[in-house]
Structure 1
Amino acid sequence: MISLLTVSFLGALDHTVVATSLATIAGDLGAVQQMSWVIVSYTLASTVMLPVLGKLGDLLGVRLVFLASLVLFLVASLFCGLAQDITQLAIARVGQGIGSAGLHLMPQTIIGSVVAPRDRPRILSVIGAAFPIAILVGPLVGGLITDAWGWRWVFWVNIPVGIVALVLAVIAVPHVPGRSGRRFDIAGALVLGVSITALVLAASWASVGGVGMPVVVAAVIALLALAVFIAIELRVGEPLVPLHHFANRTILICIVLSTVIGVGLFSVVSYVPTYIQMAYRTSATVSGLVPIATVFGMLVSTLFTGWLASRSGRYRPFPIIGTTVAAAGLLIMAFLPPGLPLWVPMAVMFLVGIGTGAFMNLLVAVAQSAAPRSDTGSVTATVSLVRQIGSTTATAVVGGLIGAGVAAGLPAGLDAATLTPAVVHASSAAVQAQVAALYSAVLAPIFIGLAIAYAVGIVAALLLPDRRLSDHLEPEPAPTAETAVV
């Protein structure tokens, strides 16, 4: 537990720490215009490699993939700190992203391989707590390290912590045999990589420059590659993403609910601080309290519901209650008038975090319990992959809608291209009131749309089979009637 939690926290912390230091890094390397590639290269590599590492874990054994991911992450962190230009840094970040995907995925897979289904929610909630904790402390840690030692130590600080985690992992993580001798689906991995890469690039370009020809071309390539990937998976003997997962009602609903989280919450949380600064006329520091409240709600809820699910063995009530609470919170956000005390949106987004945390990590345990043990890695990767893709795509859509809506309604004298909270706060009270009303009007239908996404999750959760998690770790679950197509 200590080993897996340390590694999970290390991987989760890296992304949030670097985000705080991004402007300093780009300025020092003289590449402010290309600084987005520091994030894009990392996100792209980690997303593409999720299904690949999940399958390799099933075939080669999760311990080997886990240790290899950790070593790669540490080596890449060293080269990130040594980078002399933005190209070197972006390449090193690709290695970091691949390693980070393993640090995120393999602890969950290991738990699914060696822990009885009923105990998994409690343990996965503790492992999963690394993500919200990293969001809470990452920006502060990144800022302190950058100011005290320089941005290179944002990457190098991973090394001593990672070495301790590696020693713990070598000692403590058990050997779980894979299915060696089976052929890896190279064609499927390449085609899915093309599809995910094109989708992530399309989403990134759309969020920056709107929908243009490059975005359309990338989206078409993503769809065509996805179609080819499905055709490949139907023919190969050891598919990268076993499509029979989608014929299992429990796994399918877990996949839908995971997508709902990516679309319904992760897509908007990065825009909430700007919304709060504009609509509630706060400083950047104060506006950060709202996403902190959201993440704190997720942390409390995921630990509590994980404990409850393991104690009772039942899991169905939690996604039903969670999606309902989150949908209600987003709907309330849509109708909040600007100018209310800051504690009001904090309380509402805390409610959204409570609802999301109620089932976020539980989905992994439920999906694992419904899949054969030989597919633990691939089913865990699939649940994580759809959340990541849903978040990436929806973030681009939300960003485009906000940008277009604000540009169309700005008061005379303000330019959308140079609009910052500081510019608005320096304007007259009348202009500030207009901008606040504009942001509320633009964000209201977006919050409603995200609430509808969670409403879809309510329907999916109601269709989840009402079963108990088993007390025993069976060698290989026998096929059940649930494997029939829904």
Structure 2
Amino acid sequence: MSALILAVLLAALDQTIVSTALPRIAEDLNGFDDIAWVSAAYLLASTAVTPLWGKLGDMFGRKRLYLTSTSIFLIASVACGLARNLPELIGARVLQGVGGGGMIVLTFALVGDIVAPSERGRYQGMFGSVYGVASIVGPLLGGVFTDQLSWRWAFLVNLPFGIVALAIAARALPAAARGAKARIDYLGATVLAAIATGLVLVTSFGGRWGWGSPGIVGLIVAVVVFAALLAPVERRAAAPVLPPAMLGSRTVVFSSLIGFFANAAMFAVLVYLPTYLQIVRGVSATLSGIYMLPLVAGLVVSQSLAGRWAAHVERLRTILLVGLAANLAGLLLLGTIGAATDTLALSVYFLITGIGIGMVPMVVLTTVQNSVPAADLGAASAVVTFARSIGAAFGVAVFGTLLNTGFADRTHALPTAGGFDAGRPDTIGRLPAALRDTALDAFAHATAMGYLWIAPTLAAGILLALFLRPARKGGETADVPTTTADGALTTTADDAPTTAANGVPATAEDTVTAA
């Protein structure tokens, strides 16, 4: 577990640690126009390869794939740290995303391998806490490395910790049995990668290129076309990357959608609250992290409690509903913030939001893992991870558009003399003192309205959670058919447990063995 947690920490940090280093990277490598690709390349690659890593783990054993993905990540980290120009850095970030995506999804699947269904929630909660902490600590570390050492250390720091994680994993992880031999579904993996690429590009660059621009519209059309091709392609595959039966599972589909909505809200909070603190409250990047400690505390505590409560798997839906409701309440409270909101009130809002954020993601993953046969753990984990990654990109992109549009609408009449730009909130400091308060009020209002606009996504998640039917205690398969050696499907009913020959309710393992 120590090796897996360390690996997830590194992979999660590399999604956020470069954000504060980007201006210095652009300056050193002379690439201001394309600097956004440094972040987008990692997100794009890690999202696109997630389903393939999950399926390959099912087929060839997760331990060897985990060691491979970690090695790729470390090699790419060195390449990032030694990059001589921006194209080299972007290429290395793509490779790093390929490894990081595998590390995350295989870690979640490995927990499903080595932990009993009734205990998965507790252990998955640890990884959720790591994700939340990484989202806050990453930008701070990036700033420290950039100011005190070099931006290159934001990548090179992965090497010593990654080698330790690799050594522990090689020695301690059990060698899982390989699945049935089958041809790799290259066509299905390509179609899924194309869908992921289109979605990430749309969400990452829609605001910059224009949501109605030919490039964005073309990407949306391409995503729709590939999405329509996915089901026919996977039905014809001998070992589909995304088993069609899984798409017919209410638990998998609803849980993935809940993960999408929850991650969209979570990253809108984690990415833009520090921006609000730094611009409106005038604090440093380091101090903004201290302001965020109530949120991190709520996240870590609720993750731990949710993991313990998830040991009673009948409560999974209840935990999801409570977490989504708390998260929704937090967003509604954040929708009231202004330039004059006092620190105590902010701390309470952050705490409630953190509690809601922490209770949802890993419970969603545990719900899905407990609903599928052991042979499909990797693919199921990949589906949820894929949905959450797209949700994160969606939340950041949509909130950023809402924030910038709202700010520009309320400050378009302010004078631009001195370098103030209504499309760039970071130029507020260039305004005369008499107008600065007006701009700060406008930015605070735009931030609050953005959270109110995001809140309905959590309401949709609550509605979906009401219709979830999680697996019963003991981890029985809920509603996903098991694939037999000859490709036939054996379905386990939603409303009645599978029964063995002796009349005893069968576990998921029994179902797989019988198939």
Q: TM-score, normalised by structure 1?
A: 0.91
> What corresponds to 1:219 in structure 2?
220
Per-residue CA deviation, residues 99-128 of structure 1 (Å, 9 max, x unaligned), is: 111111111101112221001111111233
Between the two structures, name the one with larger relative contact order (CA 8 Å, sep ≥ 6): 1
- Kept after mapping to 1: 8 A contact 2:332/2:452: yes
2:94 maps to amino acid = V
Which is further off, 81-90 or 265-274?
A: 265-274
Q: Is the contact made by 2:370 and 2:475 (CA closer than 8 Å) also made in structure 1? A: no
Q: Read off the aligned partner of 1:361 and give its amino acid letter.
A: M
Contact residue 124 and residue 365 of structure 1 kept, 8 A: yes
What corresponds to 2:407 in structure 1? Answer: 406
Aligned CA distance change for structure 1 residues 337 and 418 (closer, same or farther; 3 Å): closer
Shift of 1:421: 4.3
Counterpart among 454, 457, 460 of residue 456 in structure 1 = 460
Aligned residue for 1:310, secondary structure, equals coil
Shift of 1:424: 4.1
Q: Distance in 2 between matches of 1:247 and 1:153?
A: 45
Q: Which 5+ residue runs of structure 1 have no aligned equivalent?
A: none
SS in 1 for 2:316: coil
* 1:126 alignment partner in structure 2: 126
Q: Which amino acid is the alignment partner of residue 245 of structure 2? A: H
Q: Which amino acid aligns with 1:126?
A: M
Q: By how many angstroms is 1:41 displaced?
A: 1.0
Offset from partner CA, 1:26-69 (integer Å, 9 cap, x none)? 21112122211111111110010111101111111111110000
Query: CA shift at 1:436, angstroms?
Result: 3.5
Q: Which residue of 2 aligns with 1:200?
A: 200
1:119, 1:471 within 8 Å by CA — same for their partners in 2? no
Tell me, yes or no, if the aligned pair for 1:51 and 1:240 is still in contact at 8 Å: yes
* Residues 354-433 of structure 1 aligned to structure 2 (within 5 Å): 354-410=355-411, 411-414=413-416, 415-416=420-421, 419-421=424-426, 423-424=428-429, 426-429=431-434, 431-433=435-437
Judging changes above 3 Å, is the alpha-carbon distance between structure 1 residues 146 and 408 closer, same or farther for their aligned structure 2 residues? closer
Deviates more, 1:257-266 or 1:51-60: 257-266
Show CA shifts across 1:72-98 (max 9, x none).
111111111221111111111111111
User: Structure 1 pair 271/49, CA: closer, same or farther in 2 (3 Å)?
Assistant: same
1:85-124 correspondence runs (5 A): 85-124=85-124
Partner of 2:150: 150
| 1:76-475 alignment, distance < 5 Å | 76-211=76-211, 212-280=213-281, 285-289=286-290, 291-310=292-311, 314-410=315-411, 411-414=413-416, 415-416=420-421, 419-421=424-426, 423-424=428-429, 426-429=431-434, 431-465=435-469, 468-470=472-474
Q: Is the 8 A contact 2:120 2:311 kept in 1?
A: yes
Over residues 361-402 of structure 1, what are the superposed CA-to-partner deviations in whole Å (9 max), with x where a residue is unaligned? 111111001011111001101111111112212322222222
> Is the 8 Å Cα contact of residues 258 and 383 (structure 1) preserved in structure 2?
yes
Letter in structure 2 aligned against 1:465: R
Instruction: Give the residue type in structure 1 aligned to 2:492.
Output: T
Partner Cα distance (1:438, 1:345) in 2: 18
Amino acid paired to 2:306: T
Kindly tell me the number of residue pairs found equivalent between the two proteins. Answer: 482
SS at match of 2:18: helix
Q: Give the AA of the match of 1:297.
A: G
Matches within 5 A, 1:50-61: 50-61=50-61
TM-score under structure 2 length normalisation: 0.87
The CA deviation at 1:277 is 4.5
Other-structure match for 1:19: 19
- Aligned to 2:361, the other structure's residue is in SS state coil
CA–CA distance in 2 between the matches of 1:151 and 1:466? Answer: 45
Contact preservation (8 Å) 1:121, 1:310: yes
After superposition, give the CA deviation of every residue in 1:200-241 in whole Å (9 maximum; x if it has no partner).
112222132432221111111111111112221233232211
Contact kept, 8 Å, 1:73 with 1:98, in 2: the verdict is: yes
What is the identity, as a one-letter code, of the residue corresponding to 1:368?
Q
Q: Aligned with 1:34: secondary structure?
A: coil
How far apart, in 2, do the equivalents of 1:125 and 1:378 lie? 20
Q: Distance in 2 between matches of 1:119 and 1:254?
A: 19
Cα distance in 2 for residues equivalent to 1:149 and 1:434: 37
Please say which of residues 19-28 and 81-90 is displaced more in the overlay: 19-28
Out of 485, 494, 497, the position equivalent to 1:482 is 494
Give, as a single letter, the amino acid of the residue that structure 1 aligns with 2:432. S
What is the alpha-carbon distance in structure 2 between the residues aligned to residue 234 and residue 182 of structure 1? 15
Q: Is the 8 A contact 2:314 2:470 kept in 1?
A: no
Distance 2:385 2:495 in 1: 21
User: Which segment is superposed worse, 39-48 or 298-307?
Assistant: 298-307
1:152 shift after superposition: 2.3
Given that residues 408 and 423 in structure 2 are in contact (C-alpha distance below 8 angstroms), is that contact kept between their aligned partners in structure 1? no
- Residues 320 and 425 of structure 1: CA distance in aligned 2, closer, same or farther (over 3 Å): farther
Structure 2 residues without counterparts, runs of 5 or longer: 483-489, 497-515
CA contact (8 A) 1:248 1:483 kept: no
**8 Å contact from structure 1 (residues 272, 290) kept in 2:** no
Q: What is the rounded CA distance, in whole Å, between the counterparts of 1:336 and 1:145 in structure 2? A: 32
CA contact (8 A) 1:11 1:100 kept: yes
Q: What is residue 507 of structure 2 aligned with on the other side?
A: none
**Is the CA contact (8 Å cut-off) linking 2:262 and 2:361 kept in structure 1?**
yes
Letter in 2 for 1:195: I
Q: Show the counterpart of 1:41.
A: 41
Aligned partners of 1:207 and 1:395 also within 8 Å: no
Is 2:278–2:288's contact at 8 Å kept on the other side of the alignment? Answer: yes
Q: Letter of the aligned partner of 1:403 in structure 2?
A: N
CA distance in 2 between partners of 1:234 and 1:103 (Å)? 28
Give the conservation status (yes or no) of the 8 Å contact 1:241–1:378: yes
